[in-house]
Amino acid sequence: MSAASGKPRVHALVPAAGAGSRFGAEVPKQYLAVAGKAVIEHAVGVLASHPAVEGVTVTLAPDDDYFVGLALGADPTIGVVAGGATRAESVLNGLAYIRDQHDAEWVLVHDAARPGLDHAAIDRLLEAGLSSPDGALLALPIRDTLKRADADGCVAATVDREDLWAAQTPQLFPVQGLLDALQAQLDAGETPTDEAQAMERAGARPRLVMGSGMNLKVTWPEDLLAVRAWLGAGADADGESAGNGSDT
């Protein structure tokens, strides 16, 4: 996964230390089965196979017993770093490792629970992001009418959706710039919800790059059904684990 001579050095980081408690499965959602592989295997695989990506690092929870049961767990080209209590802490740990061990200039941070990413989306992101010092992120314009709720769970207002986008991943930023931005946020006692927010608070203006509806984050059970259908695995058993001796 070596970049061509003279090209920016790009490394990918996949934070996977979360438990996915909102999903409600017995195993973390990144280890559920989709098209014969774990969700995380799809997410990592598309990054690792892209010609512009020099390497992939994954952050894991200290008590993660699932990753070693995957083919990824035996792949010496995939770096593994201990995650933190929050996504921001996990990403910070991964960034420090990438900076120290790989000397990469840019990092693609991608959700472990987004198995529908493809090379075309990565290409669009790299083309836009590498030409901007502030980086870029995949996102989709909001299509649905938005409502703001009040304390009673009733509609308080309709929100103007013009110029609103839903952020996706990967998000592409300079390694040191993102590391500094996240560290400053954590030192201030704040926890950004994604990497772009940390960069925004540091004064950056990342570019928005058209994502894809197939690049869905598996958050709820119906999301898993959707990605299974898209990736040709609708017959997989619902909630099946792909790690630790499963059939994936």
Copy the structure tokens of residue 158.
Answer: 């309709």
Per-residue pLDDT tens over the stretch 83-101: 999 999 999 999 999 999 9
Closest CA to 88 of 217, 206, 199, 7: 199
Q: How many residues does the chain have?
A: 248
pLDDT given at position 246: 36
Structural domain of 17: 10-230
Residues 177-210 have pLDDT tens digits of 999 999 999 999 999 999 999 999 999 999 999 9
The answer to whether residue 1 is domain-embedded is no
Asked if residue 239 is part of any domain, the answer here is: no
Where does the pLDDT of residue 233 fall: very low under 50, low under 70, confident under 90, or very high at 90 and above?
very low
DSSP state of 194: S
Q: What is the CATH number of the domain that holds 208?
A: 3.90.550.10
Q: Residue 38 domain-assigned?
A: yes
pLDDT at 78: 95
Q: What is the pLDDT of residues 21-43, one digit of tens each?
A: 555 557 889 999 998 999 999 99
Do the domain assignments include residue 103? yes
pLDDT tens, residue by residue, 102-144: 989 999 999 999 999 999 999 999 999 999 999 999 999 999 9
165-176 pLDDT, tens digit each: 999 999 999 999
Q: What is the pLDDT of residue 24?
A: 52
- Separation of alpha carbons 46 and 77, rounded Å: 14
Dihedral angle over CA of 164, 230, 127, 43, nearest 10: 100
Residue 238 counted as domain residue? no
Output phi, psi for 32, to 5 deg.
Answer: -75, 155
Is 3 domain-assigned?
A: no
**Is the CB of residue 208 less than 8 Å from the CB of residue 166?**
no
Name which of 196, 219, 193 is nearest 107 in CA terms: 196
Q: What is the pLDDT of residues 56-81, one digit of tens each?
A: 999 999 999 999 999 888 888 899 99
The predicted pLDDT at position 1 comes to: 42
Q: What secondary structure letter does DSSP report for 162? A: T
Q: Contact, 35 vs 230, CB < 8 A?
A: no
Q: Do the domain assignments include residue 178? A: yes
- Looking at residue 92, its pLDDT comes to 97
Residue 179 is assigned to a structural domain of this protein: yes
Tell me how many degrees the CA angle 72-179-20 measures, rounded to the nearest 5: 45
List all residues 6 or more positions away from 151 whose beta carbon is below 8 Å from its beta carbon: none
pLDDT at site 74:
87
Number of domains the chain contains: 1
